[in-house]
Amino acid sequence: MTTSSRFLLAALALSGFAALAQPAVAAGGVEQPPRQKWSFSGPFGTFDRAQLQRGFKVYREVCASCHGLEKVSFRNLSQPGGPGFTDGQVKTLAAEYKVMDGPNEAGEMFERPARPSDRFPKPFPNPEAAKAANNGAVPPDFSVIAKARTYERGFPFYLFDVVTQYQEQGVDYITALLLGYEEPPKGVTVEAGLHWNRYFPGNKIAMGNPLVAVFDDAGKPHDAGFYTDGTPVTREQVARDLTAFLMWAAEPKMEERKQTGAKVMLWLILLAGLLYLTKKRIWSRLEGAH
Amino acid sequence: MAEHHSSYVPKTGFERWLDARLPIVRLVHDSAVSYPVPRNLNYFWTFGGILMFMLVSQIVTGIVLVMHYTPHVDYAFQSVEHIMRDVNYGWLMRYMHANGASMFFIAVYIHIFRGMYYGSYKAPREVLWILGVVIFLLMMATAFMGYVLPWGQMSFWGATVITNLFSAIPVVGETIVVWLWGGYSVDNPTLNRFFSLHYLLPFMIFGVVILHVWALHHVGQNNPSGVDVKNYQKDTVPFTPFATVKDLFAMVCFMIFFAWFVFYMPNFLGHADNYIPADPLKTPAHIVPEWYFLPYYGILRAIPDKLGGVVAMFASIAILAFLPWLDTSKVRSGKYRPWFKVAFWTFVVVSVLLGYTGSQPTDKVVLAIGGRTVMDMVGFAQILTAIYFGYFLIALPLLGLIEKPKALPASIADSVLGPAGSGHIVGAHAAPPKH
């Protein structure tokens, strides 16, 4: 940065617009994730059922061994506004999992196949076991992670976001993170057990690139038939599908919320219009009222 | 209503019977129907009604949420997600309650700034104003404790930071903090007592609101001209239907704004970190309070000394209670005070900027010349804090003495119709004065 541009920055700051001058690269040198297009953004957004089903497949086969989904029940998968599995599919799916139940009449705990009403079993019995298996780091639960991650938009952009309804910072960040594994820049040493990621705050992340489970180093899928619905198996596609699924897991009532919102808004605006006319009529009784 | 004749006439035998025993219908009639309202009120005067709506909305949604919430460190976060996922319309209740807190503060800040601009704190409305400051303090305590209940990362660390402020009190500070926590750290007893108090305080707010409204109805409303009501026939209109329909219209407009957040941007005003369960071993990168506390947080951090910061922060709110005596001007409304206007709007901008400093890291550079940091966020906040207190302690006392106000209208009716207007009301009449 030159002296003159610093001076310009200072002048901006003085006039109360300090944050306007915030560069795209935030503190710590972490880049802002690129904006993605999502089917569920905006006031009428809905989830793409096929995308959620693909994302669930990615979660199950790539993430689930380390990351839990403990607040989601199997039955949620067939509820309206979700991936749209049938009740039968969910029953079969749940039965593939084992959950601990009991005590039985003999006073003993026992394992049984999961039912749709069960929540997803945790991948580790306790945080200590998770730590021991993962180099000292606990893999976070995925139930609300799409709402628990974000990036700083900075002034004045967060003010525009209120109007444009941009609230997909979390999913944009997660997609960017999944695609952000790179060789570290020259001269930067990454300690053992850590990995370089363009979008992770501080850049050094304990989790290795999860997409190596699906793709080789050249970006070609190990199994070209990974998706059975004909969707091309690319790194971007897999990252976006998983992220969309995580958004649904975090906010399973989003479609219901937005659709209720449209009705509420319409009703309120009509009521406001009628009240305004009533108000005008009543106040016109006063001399000198406009 | 002490000054006004009651215009209530019981119509049925039952009403006459009840009126002789408990004149409750008369009370409602006198305070919500015939109560005289200055005819020149603008839409900033509708925020009292909007605040009443918000208080009721918060209490109703809160009572429903309590039916499904578990105040325990192991279950609180989980039970909030249970509300979001398994309870019918639980998402609506929770998002209304969480965003409702923000809406409550937006409305109360407009209400306070309106009172400050039009001099609504001046005689005879000092007690009315001070009751308002008490409500504001109770609201802040309620909102703070409510934010702790979901037991996310910001809940936990916000509670830790704010309760630790009391350790700045000399000698007994540490003891007080342990007493507040109910232990030696923020833990389950802390969550339980915050939950208990979070349920209690709204009803205390309700009680003080009744006093606030009582005081208001006793002294009558201020108005944009700041001139007292002189002729009830010309200057006022009956509350119903005039103010009722106007308040309702404004309330529905505010509900549209509220609904925008609830249905479309429900997490915009919160922090992503609060969707991470509380972890006493992991401090978030930036511990930031909710937006409505940011100006006070900015003042707190502006003072390098911990005790000094705490004192400044509490003083910045307490000083509001002294406003009626700090403002020496005889003119109520800022409309007729050219220099006051400048001071007032400076104060508004400074309050917003203090909020900005509260949201930023303290070491962030605000002003650098030639690569040398001249001012960081703390330095910026110090200047703003000085202006904030300067408004109360220098500008308001001095301006009243040196400022030459513009000519005031002779009456409220004159301010609406011009000096020639008669202001005759065709519809119902407001209650005439007793004396």
> Which tokens belong to B22?
């408990």
User: Is the pLDDT assigned to residue B93 strictly greater than 70?
Assistant: yes
Q: B416: nearest CA in chain A?
A: A288
Indicate which of A143, A279, A280, A290 best probes the interface with B, i.e. most B CBs within 10 Å of its own CB. A279
- In this predicted structure, what is the pLDDT of residue B356? 95
Tell me the average pLDDT of chain B: 94
Chain B residues touching residue A136 (CB < 8 angstroms)? none
Looking at the complex, report in whole angstroms how far the Cα of residue B426 sits from the nearest Cα belonging to chain A. Answer: 6
Chain B residues touching residue A250 (CB < 8 angstroms)? 275
| Mean pLDDT score, A122-137 | 93
Interface contact flag, B356 A18, Cβ < 8 Å = yes
Please report the residues numbered 33 through 62 in chain B whose beta carbons come closer than 8 angstroms to any beta carbon of chain A. 39
The answer to whether B371 faces chain A, any CB pair under 8 Å, is yes
Q: Which of A272, A285, A287 sits opposite B252 (nearest CB)?
A: A272
| Closest by CA position to B273, among listed B287, B261, B294 | B287
| Closest by CA position to B430, among listed B277, B241, B270 | B241
Of A58-62, A183-187, B431-435, minimum mean pLDDT range: B431-435
Side-chain-side CA neighbours of residue A148 (13 Å): 20
The answer to whether B262 faces chain A, any CB pair under 8 Å, is yes
User: Is the pLDDT assigned to residue A16 strictly greater than 60?
Assistant: no
Looking at the complex, report in whole angstroms how far the Cα of residue B199 sits from the nearest Cα belonging to chain A. Answer: 27
Chain A residues touching residue B361 (CB < 8 angstroms)? 27
In tens, the pLDDT along B300-352 reads 999 999 999 999 999 999 999 999 999 999 999 999 999 999 999 999 999 99
Residue B354's identity, in one-letter code, is L
Rounded distance between C-alpha atoms, residue A196 and residue A177, angstroms: 10
> Which tokens belong to A187?
């001269």
> Which tokens belong to B262?
């609830």
User: Is the pLDDT assigned to residue B119 strictly greater than 90?
Assistant: yes
In tens, the pLDDT along B131-186 reads 999 999 999 999 999 999 999 999 999 999 999 999 999 999 999 999 999 999 99
> For the whole model, what pTM was predicted?
0.92
**Where does the pLDDT of residue A289 fall: very low under 50, low under 70, confident under 90, or very high at 90 and above?**
low
CATH class as words, domain B43-228+238-268: mainly alpha
Measured in residues, chain B has a length of 435
Rounded distance between C-alpha atoms, residue A93 and residue A114, angstroms: 9
Angle between helices B76-85 and B90-117 (to 10 degrees): 100
Looking at the complex, report in whole angstroms how far the Cα of residue B349 sits from the nearest Cα belonging to chain A. Answer: 9
| Mean pLDDT score, B218-239 | 95
> Which tokens belong to B267?
């997490």
The answer to whether B269 faces chain A, any CB pair under 8 Å, is no
Rounded distance between C-alpha atoms, residue B363 and residue B381, angstroms: 11
User: Is the pLDDT assigned to residue A9 strictly greater than 80?
Assistant: no
Rounded distance between C-alpha atoms, residue A146 and residue A248, angstroms: 9
Beta-sheet strands, E only, within B266-308: none
| Closest by CA position to B384, among listed B344, B357, B365, B359 | B357
Q: Which of B242, B259, B267 sits opposite A147 (nearest CB)?
A: B267
Chain A residues touching residue B249 (CB < 8 angstroms)? 272, 275-276, 278-279
Q: Is A263 left (phi over 0), alpha (psi -120 to 50) or beta?
A: alpha
Q: B427: nearest CA in chain A?
A: A285
| Closest by CA position to A48, among listed A272, A268, A270, A255 | A255
User: Is the pLDDT assigned to residue A204 strictly greater than 50?
Assistant: yes
Q: Write the DSSP assignment of A146-181 as a string of letters.
A: HHH------TTHHHHHHHHT---HHHHHHHHHHT-B
- The count of other CB atoms within 10 Å of the CB of residue B97 is 20
| Mean pLDDT score, A157-179 | 96
The answer to whether B88 faces chain A, any CB pair under 8 Å, is no
Beta-sheet strands, E only, within A31-133: 98-101, 110-113
Interface contact flag, A285 B272, Cβ < 8 Å = no
Domain ranges of chain B: 43-228+238-268, 327-406
Q: Which of A167, A256, A287 sits opposite B267 (nearest CB)?
A: A167
User: Is the pLDDT assigned to residue B96 strictly greater than 90?
Assistant: yes
| Mean pLDDT score, A26-32 | 62
Chain A residues touching residue B294 (CB < 8 angstroms)? none
Integer angstrom CA distances of residue B75 from A244, B145, B151, B276, B435: 27, 17, 9, 14, 62
**Where does the pLDDT of residue B423 fall: very low under 50, low under 70, confident under 90, or very high at 90 and above?**
very low
Chain A residues touching residue B370 (CB < 8 angstroms)? 3, 6-7
Sequence-ordered list of residues with C-beta below 8 angstroms from that of A37, at least 6 positions apart, any chain = none
How far is the first Cα of chain A from the last one, in angstroms, to the nearest whole number? 58
Query: Judging by DSSP bridges, how do beta strands A204-205 and B36-38 pair with one another?
Result: unpaired
User: Is the pLDDT assigned to residue A12 strictly greater than 50?
Assistant: no
The answer to whether B242 faces chain A, any CB pair under 8 Å, is yes
The answer to whether B349 faces chain A, any CB pair under 8 Å, is yes
User: Is the pLDDT assigned to residue A109 strictly greater than 50?
Assistant: yes
**Where does the pLDDT of residue B417 fall: very low under 50, low under 70, confident under 90, or very high at 90 and above?**
confident
Rounded distance between C-alpha atoms, residue B367 and residue B376, angstroms: 7
Interface contact flag, A261 B91, Cβ < 8 Å = no
Using the structure block, give the residue that is written with the tokens 């009172």.
Answer: B115
Chain B residues touching residue A14 (CB < 8 angstroms)? 367
Q: Which of B256, B272, B356 sits opposite A269 (nearest CB)?
A: B256
Q: Which of A27, A161, A276 sits opposite B249 (nearest CB)?
A: A276
- In this predicted structure, what is the pLDDT of residue A30? 72
Domain ranges of chain A: 1-26, 31-39+142-273
Q: B96: nearest CA in chain A?
A: A257
Of A38-52, A154-168, B99-113, minimum mean pLDDT range: A154-168
Rounded distance between C-alpha atoms, residue B120 and residue A53, angstroms: 60
Q: Which of B249, B368, B427 sits opposite A6 (nearest CB)?
A: B368
Identify the sign of the CA torsion A79, A80, A86, A89.
negative
CATH class as words, domain A31-39+142-273: mainly alpha
**Where does the pLDDT of residue B392 fall: very low under 50, low under 70, confident under 90, or very high at 90 and above?**
very high
Chain A residues touching residue B356 (CB < 8 angstroms)? 18-19, 155
Residues B37 and B239 sit within 8 Å (Cβ to Cβ): yes
